[in-house]
Amino acid sequence: MAAHRIKLTDLTTYIDLYAGAVKLREGGLNIGAPRPDPRYISSPISDGDNLSAIRYGNRTITLRLRATGASLSALQTNIRAIQRLLNDASQYINNPGYRKVYLELQWGDSPSNSTYFQVLHGQLLMPDTWYSPALANSFNIIDCTLVLECKPYGINIGVGIAQATLENYQTDPAFNYQDITMAESQGDVPAGLYIKIDQTGATGSKKLWVAKRSGARYNDTLWTEGESETSSTDVEAAAKCTFSDQGDAACSGANYRRNRYEPVAGSTAGQIIAYHSYDMATPPRGTFRVLIRCAVNNAGTWANRKWGFGYVYGAKTYTPSLSLGEYFSNTAHTAFEWLDLGLLSIPPVPESDGAGNNTFTLRINQYFDETHINGTYDWNLDTVFLLPVDEGVVILNSIAADDIIAIDGWTDPPNVFKIASDKITDYPSYVGAPFLLGRDNTRIYILRDDAIAVTFTVDTNYQPRRLTI
C-alpha cells in the first residue's frame, strides 16, 4: 500500500498520524464537508428564489486514532505533543506568538503535493475505558478520536506565474494587462492571489488602479483610443466646434481627439458643448468605472471645462447632470491626467434569455460651466478605459513613484501593503478589496495616473484552494 501523508503540523513541528506513535485506524478519517450558507432573494412576481451569494462555514474533520508508547511516559509525551498543537491552534487568532496549525493530507507522499486545512481548534477525546488495567500493561489506547474544527478550504503550496512587464497604456504590442491561464487541476474553488507591483518611470504621488476580469468576458475590449470615435457631435446651436485628431508621442496611440471650441461672446453658461460617440456593436457586460485620459488648455477658467459620460442603448438615452455631480474637472491645465467619471453598467437594462443585446453607444461629453467669452477652448481626449469592478478592484491613492505594492489575497483577512525586500513597510490608503483568482482564464489590469512611459514589473503567485482533495 502506498504511503500517505496525514500530519498535524505548525510547519515547524510535524506529528505523523499515518505511521507515527499516534496513528489513524483503518477507515478512521472523516473529512466532512463545510457548512454552506446560501443567501437568496425572492420576488413576489416570480417563482423560486434567486441565489445572491454563498459562503461556507467551517468544516469538522475527525480522525479515529490508536495511541501507543514504549512506556507510560512515552505515551504521555505522544499525547501531549498533539495537545500542545491544538492549544496553539486555538491561541493563534489572539496571540501572534503562536503559529497557525494545519492538518496536512495527501494520497501519496510527493513533495509539495499536500493539501493543508487550517485548524481553528480541536479536541483529543479518549474512550470511556482508556484508564484501565489494559492500558497499564500495554500503554496502548486503541480508540481515541481527534476532532478538528477547520477553515472550509484546503490549500496547496503557492504556484508562481512568470514575471510580467506591463505598460501604462494599450497599443499593440504594449498592454496594461497580464493574462493568466488556469489549469483545472489547480483547485476547485477560486484561489488566493498575491500580486507584487514594482513601478518604473513613475513620477510624483499618483493614483493606481488594479482590477480583474475572467471567464468568457476576460478579453472583452475595454480600452478605446479617443481618436477612434464613431462620431463627434456639436451640441450648442451657437457653438463653433472643430474636431480633429492631433499627434502626440506622449499619448496612447500617439494621437488624441481634440474638440476646439471658439464661442460667440455672451453664449449661455452651463451646458453641453459637444460629445464624442463610441459605438460597441458587441458591448462588454458588467459594471465599470469610466476612466478617461484627458486635458484642457489654459484659456479662461480651465476648471470650468468639465467631462462626463452618457450613453445610448436602443431607445434609452442617458445624459449626465451637473447638479448630481456627474461632471468632473481636470486638476490642472494642459497636462494629461486620468479622470474617473463614475460607475456604468452595461447593458443598462435587464438582459433577455430570448433577445440579444443591442449596440451600446458611450458618449464622452464636454461641458462649459461659465458664460462664454471670445477665445479658444480645447478639450483633449486621449483614451477611454472601462475599468471592470464587478469581479474585484483595488484603487490606491497617493502611491509614490518608488513604492512597491503587494495586493495580498492569501492572508485572512486580505489586505494591501507597501513592501521593501518582501517585508511590509506601510499600509496604503485604498478602496475595494484584494480579489481571488478563479478557475477560468483571467486578465489582471494595472493603470497609473501618470505618463504612458511608466512600466510595471509584476510578480504573481496564487494559492490553490479545494473543497475536496
**pLDDT, position 239:** 65
Task: Say what percent of the chain tops pLDDT 70.
Answer: 94
Task: Kindly report the three-state secondary structure assignment for every residue of the chain.
Answer: CCCCEEEEECCCCEEECCCCCEEEEEEEEECCCCCEEEEEECCCCCCCCEEEEEEECCEEEEEEEEEECCCHHHHHHHHHHHHHHHHHHHHHCCCCCCCCEEEEEECCCCCCCCEEEEEEEEEEECCCCCCCHHHHHHCEEEEEEEEEEECCCEECCCEEEEEEEEECCCECCECCEEEECCCCCCCCEEEEEEEEEEEECCCCEEEEEEEEEEHHHCCCCCEEEHHHCCEEEECCCCCCEEEEEEECCCCHHHEEEEEEECCCCCCCCCEEEEEEEEEECCCCCEEEEEEEEEEECCCCCHHHEEEEEEEEECCEEECCCCCCCCCEECCCCCCCEEEEEEEEEECCCCCCCCCCCCCEEEEEEEEECCCCCCCCEEEEEEEEEEEECCCCEEEEEEEECCCEEEEECCCCCCEEEEEECCEEEECCCEEECCCCECCCCEEEEEEECCCCCCEEEEEEEEEEEECCC
Does residue 2 have a pLDDT over 70? no
Write the pLDDT tens digit of every residue in 113-169. Answer: 899 999 999 999 998 877 765 566 678 888 899 999 999 999 998 889 999 999 999
- Structure confidence by residue, pLDDT tens digits, 433-442: 999 998 889 9
| Chain segment 81-97, per-residue pLDDT in tens | 999 999 999 999 888 78
The pLDDT tens digits of the residues spanning 168-206 come to 999 888 999 999 988 766 788 999 999 999 999 999 999
pLDDT band for position 43 (50/70/90)? confident
Q: Is the pLDDT of residue 216 over 70?
A: yes
